[in-house]
Chains A and B, each alone.
Chain A
């Protein structure tokens, strides 16, 4: 940490800790449990499948709630039909514009969450030795 350095910080190689190194031998066996279709492998995979399914259904439920809820809002509070924001009527603003960034954010959140589930799963059963990250 010399004070005269101004550029971006140097790249640092991040290596795995002893903990994961130890896990690798144990997990090697777990991956083969999965591969060999043992009962343990079945239980492991079922956990992964259920976690992903739950996540997917949650996203669908959120989407359905928003899609179904908007017309309900328009019907229950009629003033929202004619309300304008920046000169644009609310239904046009929501359906013509806001819905797209909302969908994108939801998709990104889903991707992150599902990748986290997979990372945890891979840590438990062990990652492939030949490939990095």
Chain B
């Protein structure tokens, strides 16, 4: 009974996603509709869309699971996810919109006038996007297996097909509607069961969970050579600076009508994310009340899905579980389609379109090429997810943030605010940041988690990779003043001048 209700909920979410995607198909006419929804999305809609896209399975299931598992220190995680938008707001939101670029590689090339920087940025966008897609597919398998007993690949395949259809059908415009809707689905699906559980808990007397002292105490070391303060600080830095470098986040800024709207959108995003993140700690604490220790064979990631059945018996428990399963699937679908969208955009623009137009002798291939790119963007991480062994969702996601913080954060922040950024400096910073972050993660994957300081530094590389990348970019730029792009001044005029000032020559016509 509970299984069939959950299947209905998951099916409903999938069908709605494809249906709304189809709606976008009828509205998409020009290439810019596909990429950036014709730049006519209002701040409210856009904020819902950004939040809907951003709240992945890691937020819907993972945050509650991690707080349940490790206690108060993991409350920093959703704080970091939210504050990333504050940093994005004050550092890049409006200038990024005013740059007039479609994608991160577009911005890199516009700012530095270098094809090499553009290519590097494109490779990084695809790398970060795929890195983030793999755990989404794995999470889909886990969630569907838990609520229905289906094999793990079924969930991943389902998400892959739905995402490829939605992206390929209507591009960004459809995705904007889908994402906006999914924020509200997710909030409802997480908050309603939480209220029911809270009310039941209060009625039964509201006892405190039987937990150890260290669960309540901030920065309690997990082991003798654990460094909780460093671990938390490095994670916060990765989340705060990494958010601006996530390709599926930044691509949304191009759908704002102007820089002022981009800022207002971000403020709304912070409100919507804050509202959402009030809920997961409720599951963590109530989870400890009803399940003082994890039953064998249960992952802490699934605590949200386990809880209603333990507390509410009969059909109402099944309904709550079905809601949560549907919400988790909405979370997976929205993040996966946002990521797939930006990877598709870059694959199409950088790698496929040039080749296809050479084949056909023109760009008659327009939409067909875009759809081909959508399939490639989804299929690669799907097979990687099938073949790599299960690395924890939080680990892979954290690595994606660290990589973004060590590469795109210096490029964007210095690119927007610093006139002396040179081409050589930008390339050096991107390469050093990418190599440092990647090798730290690979070392952890290959040799397993290590103890003491080496382990702490390698597992949370952002605290040293990011300053290293910033320092490299600045020092190399200062050493190579001749490779500062000649039109930097014009770019600065375009990035910082408000739209209502009439600039005939510096502005890109839209």
Q: By the criterion CB–CB under 8 Å, are B72 and A49 in contact? A: no
Q: By the criterion CB–CB under 8 Å, are B501 and A128 in contact? A: yes
Residues of B within 8 A of A108 (CB): 267
B394 interface residue per 8 A CB criterion: no
Per-position binary interface string of chain B over residues 251-294, scored 1 when its CB falls under 8 Å from any chain A CB and 0 otherwise: 00000000010011011001101110110010000000000000
CB B235 to nearest CB in A, in angstroms, measures: 12
Residues of B within 8 A of A52 (CB): 496
Q: By the criterion CB–CB under 8 Å, are A122 and B83 in contact? A: no
Docked Cα-Cα span, A98 to B125, in Å, equals 34
Say which one of B31-39, B154-162, B216-224 lies at the interface with A: B216-224
B506 interface residue per 8 A CB criterion: yes
Residues of B within 8 A of A21 (CB): none
Say which one of B52-60, B88-96, B176-184, B334-342 lies at the interface with A: B88-96
Docked Cα-Cα span, A49 to B218, in Å, equals 40
Contacts A96-B281, A106-B86; A101 near B274 (Cβ below 8 A): yes
Say which one of B193-201, B432-440, B471-479, B485-493 lies at the interface with A: B485-493
Q: Which residue of the partner chain A has the closest CB to B206?
A: A87
Partner of A42, one of B79, B216, B217, B489: B489
Q: A89-B72, A92-B75, A99-B82 are in contact. List 18 more A-B contacts (CB 8 A).
A: A31-B503, A34-B501, A35-B493, A35-B505, A45-B493, A48-B496, A63-B83, A67-B236, A71-B219, A71-B232, A97-B278, A103-B270, A107-B86, A107-B267, A111-B264, A115-B263, A121-B497, A126-B501
Category for how many chain B residues contact A = 35 or more
Partner of A45, one of B232, B275, B496, B505: B496
Q: By the criterion CB–CB under 8 Å, are B89 and A100 in contact? A: no
Q: By the criterion CB–CB under 8 Å, are B498 and A121 in contact? A: yes
Q: Which residue of the partner chain A has the closest CB to B76?
A: A95
B152 interface residue per 8 A CB criterion: no
A56 interface residue per 8 A CB criterion: yes
Report the 8 A-B pairs with minimum CB-CB distance, sorted nearest first.
Answer: A100-B274, A56-B90, A95-B75, A128-B502, A118-B498, A107-B267, A96-B281, A59-B90
CB A106 to nearest CB in B, in angstroms, measures: 7
Q: By the criterion CB–CB under 8 Å, are A45 and B278 in contact? A: no
Q: By the criterion CB–CB under 8 Å, are A71 and B501 in contact? A: no
CB A9 to nearest CB in B, in angstroms, measures: 27
Contacts A91-B72, A114-B94; A129 near B496 (Cβ below 8 A): no
Residues of B within 8 A of A82 (CB): 216
Q: By the criterion CB–CB under 8 Å, are A104 and B274 in contact? A: yes
A–B complex contacts, Cβ < 8 Å, 11 sampled: A37-B489, A42-B489, A60-B87, A71-B229, A81-B218, A104-B274, A107-B267, A111-B264, A114-B263, A125-B501, A128-B500
Per-position binary interface string of chain A over residues 23-36, scored 1 when its CB falls under 8 Å from any chain B CB and 0 otherwise: 00000000110111
Q: By the criterion CB–CB under 8 Å, are B498 and A122 in contact? A: yes
Main SS of the interface on chain A?
helix
Docked Cα-Cα span, A92 to B219, in Å, equals 13
CB A73 to nearest CB in B, in angstroms, measures: 10
Docked Cα-Cα span, A36 to B502, in Å, equals 12
Q: By the criterion CB–CB under 8 Å, are A104 and B501 in contact? A: no
Category for how many chain A residues contact B = 35 or more
Residues of B within 8 A of A122 (CB): 498, 500-501
A5 interface residue per 8 A CB criterion: no
Residues of A within 8 A of B365 (CB): none
Q: By the criterion CB–CB under 8 Å, are A115 and B79 in contact? A: no
CB A96 to nearest CB in B, in angstroms, measures: 5
Residues of B within 8 A of A56 (CB): 90-91
Q: By the criterion CB–CB under 8 Å, are A100 and B496 in contact? A: no
Q: By the criterion CB–CB under 8 Å, are B72 and A45 in contact? A: no
Name B residues whose Cβ lies closer than 8 Å to a Cβ of A.
72, 75-76, 79, 82-83, 85-87, 89-91, 94, 216-219, 229, 232, 236, 260, 263-264, 266-267, 270-271, 273-275, 277-278, 281, 417, 489-490, 492-493, 496-498, 500-506
Residues of A within 8 A of B496 (CB): 45, 48-49, 52
Contacts A31-B503, A74-B218, A110-B90; A92 near B493 (Cβ below 8 A): no
Docked Cα-Cα span, A101 to B218, in Å, equals 22
CB A21 to nearest CB in B, in angstroms, measures: 16
Q: Which residue of the partner chain B has the closest CB to A126?
A: B501
Partner of A131, one of B217, B219, B229, B500: B500
A40 interface residue per 8 A CB criterion: no
CB B468 to nearest CB in A, in angstroms, measures: 19
Docked Cα-Cα span, A31 to B502, in Å, equals 7
Docked Cα-Cα span, A52 to B493, in Å, equals 13
Q: By the criterion CB–CB under 8 Å, are A59 and B218 in contact? A: no
Partner of B497, one of A48, A91, A103, A110: A48
Residues of A within 8 A of B277 (CB): 100
Contacts A34-B506, A91-B218, A111-B264; A41 near B501 (Cβ below 8 A): no
Docked Cα-Cα span, A69 to B413, in Å, equals 25
Q: By the criterion CB–CB under 8 Å, are A103 and B501 in contact? A: no
Contacts A48-B496, A49-B417, A100-B277; A107 near B75 (Cβ below 8 A): no
CB B399 to nearest CB in A, in angstroms, measures: 22
Q: By the criterion CB–CB under 8 Å, are B86 and A96 in contact? A: no
Contacts A35-B504, A45-B497; A100 near B278 (Cβ below 8 A): yes
Docked Cα-Cα span, A123 to B270, in Å, equals 30
Most chain A beta-carbon contacts within 10 A, residue among B229, B492, B493, B503: B493
CB B508 to nearest CB in A, in angstroms, measures: 13
Q: By the criterion CB–CB under 8 Å, are B505 and A36 in contact? A: yes
